[in-house]
Structures are given as structure tokens and as C-alpha cells.
Structure 1
Amino acid sequence: MKRSLIIANRLREVLLNGHWIANTNCKEQILSVNWMQATQKVGNLNMIAALTFHINYYLVGLLTAFETGKLEISDKFSFDLPPISSESEWNKMVTDFISNSEKFADKVEQMEDSLLDQPFIDEKYGTFLRNIEGVIEHSYYHLGQISLIKKLIMQDQS
């Protein structure tokens, strides 16, 4: 099996449809909350909406970099969530997240395995593989946060 397919399937696992590692995935978690829950603040934790925006920010930025060869995202903007004031705005964010997750996994699957070992944009960023694996690890990290925040919100509502 191609390495790119293996990596793409790992992306799908955390972002879209997996249950093996965390018994859930990002899509499942964000589809199970409404906009009020997604934007509810719990202590000093990030909101579910902010975490969704954050993961998607990097997906979009890396997809653009794959196409243009330019990395134009910055960590300082990765939590710049626009206000969400309705269910339709939340649903659009969720739809965009799911669509970008699918595009990202598909793009990785289409990569030649030899590209995975090539420098990503600039040698200081490591290889394509390192950056894609970083997306997987980063997504699992925030999936755990989303899951816990959701549990706290549901506990408060019961």
C-alpha cells in the first residue's frame, strides 16, 4: 500500500470517520453540538467553535501551500474566530471544516510517496511527511479538548 494512502487514512481517522484511537473523530464531535454549545465558554478553555476554526485554519493554509508552494499562514491568526451568532453560521463552519478535511486527505492520498520525503516549502519546516503527521497529532490533541469541553457543557446542561 502506498504511504500516501496510509497517511491519508490516518487523517480521515482523526478528522472524519475513525473510532480506533479515540473512539470518536472531529466530525462526529462537532456535528453533535449546536451553535450555542459550540460557542459556550467553559472557564478559561477554548470554545469548541474556536478549536474547530483553529484546526480548519491549518488545513486551509496547508492546502493552499500544497497548491502554491507558499506558506502564508501564521500561528498568531489561528484562533481569530469570527463571531458566530446563529445555527446557520455554525453549520457553515462545520460544513467548511468537513469539506476541507476531505480535500486535505484526498490531496495527501494523491501525493507521490517520493514527495513525502521532500522538504516542505522550506527545509526549516521539515518534510511533507513531518508536516502531515503534525496535522494528525495536532488534530488528535484538539479532538481531546473538544471531547472534554463537550462533556463539561453537557454536564452543565443536565
Structure 2
Amino acid sequence: MKNTLEIANRFREIILNGTWVANTNYKDQLENLDWKIAVTPIQDLNTIAVLAQHIHYYIKGINNVLKGGTLDIKDKFSFDFPIIHSSQEWKTFLTKFWTDAEEFALLIEQMNDEKLNQSFVDKQYGTYKRNIECMIEHSYYHLGQIVLIKKLIVNKKVLFK
């Protein structure tokens, strides 16, 4: 199997359809989640919606690079999103999240293996492979937070703001 196909499938696993590492994925956790739970704050933690938007922000930004564009995302803006106010806004966001995630995987799949070892935008950012693998690892990190926050809210085990 091509390395790029293997990495693309690892990415799909965490966002869209896998259970190998975490026994769940973003789509499994968010697809049928009531938007009110997604935006419920717990103390000073990020909401589920903000964490999902944060991961989407990076996917969308890297997609732009993979399509030949510039790297326009900045860490300092990666948690700045408008508040979701309705079920429709939540569903619209999720549809975009799934679409952009699949596009990310397809763009990786279409890459040749040699591209993985090339510099990502600028040498200071490491290789394409490093950035794609970091996206996967970063996604697992925040998925764990989403799972815990969801359990706290659903089981009402925490004081809300």
C-alpha cells in the first residue's frame, strides 16, 4: 500500500469512520449530538463545538496548502469562532467538517509518496508527513476531550456556568 493511502486512511479513521485506536471517531461522537450539548460550557473548558471547530480550522487550512494555496491559518485564531445558536447551524457546520475532512484525505491519497518528505510550505514547518501526522495526533488529543466533556454533560456530573 502506498504510504499516502495509509496516512489518508489513518486520518479518515479519527475523523470519519474508524475505531482502531480510540474505539470512536469525531463523526460517531458528533453526528447525532444535540447542538445544545455541543455548546454547553463547563467551567473554563472549551465547548465540544469549539473543539470540533478548532480541528476543522486546521483541516481547512491544510487543505488550502494541499491544493497549492498558501498557509493562512494562525494558532492565535484557532479557537475564535462564532457561537452556534441553532440545530441548523450545528448541522451545517458538521456537513462542512465531514466534507473538508474527506477532501483532506483525498488530497493526501492523491499525493505521491515522495511529496511526504518535502518541506511543508517552509522548512521551519517540517515535512508534509510530519504535518499530516501531527494533524492526526492533534485530532486524537481533542477527541479525548470531546468524549470526556460529553460524558460530563450527559451524566450531569459537573457544575455548569
Which consecutive residues of structure 2, in runs of 5 or more, have no partner in the other structure? Answer: none
Taking the TM superposition and a 5 Å limit, the aligned residue runs for 1:133-152 are 133-152=133-152
Q: TM-score, normalised by structure 1?
A: 0.97
Provide the C-alpha distance between the structure 1 equivalents of 2:154 and 2:69, rounded to a whole number of angstroms. 43
Higher helix share: 1
Provide the C-alpha distance between the structure 2 equivalents of 1:69 and 1:98, rounded to a whole number of angstroms. 21
Residue of structure 1 equivalent to 2:91:
91
Residue of structure 1 equivalent to 2:113:
113
Secondary structure of 2:156's partner? helix
Q: Which amino acid aligns with 2:38?
A: A
1:42 to partner: Cα distance: 1.1
Secondary structure of 1:149's partner? helix
Count of equivalent residues: 157
Q: Which amino acid aligns with 2:11?
A: L
Kept in 1, the 8 Å contact 2:37–2:153? The answer is yes
Q: Which amino acid aligns with 2:125?
A: Y
Provide the C-alpha distance between the structure 2 equivalents of 1:139 and 1:155, rounded to a whole number of angstroms. 24
Residue of structure 2 equivalent to 1:66:
66
1:156 to partner: Cα distance: 1.1
Return structure 1 stretches of 4+ with deviation > 2 angstroms: none
Q: Which amino acid aligns with 1:75?
A: D
Provide the C-alpha distance between the structure 1 equivalents of 2:129 and 2:64, rounded to a whole number of angstroms. 16
Q: TM-score, normalised by structure 2?
A: 0.95
Identity, % of aligned positions? 52
Provide the C-alpha distance between the structure 2 equivalents of 1:123 and 1:51, rounded to a whole number of angstroms. 28
Q: Deviations over 1:70-125 (max 9, x none)?
A: 21110111111112111000111111111111110111111100000000000000
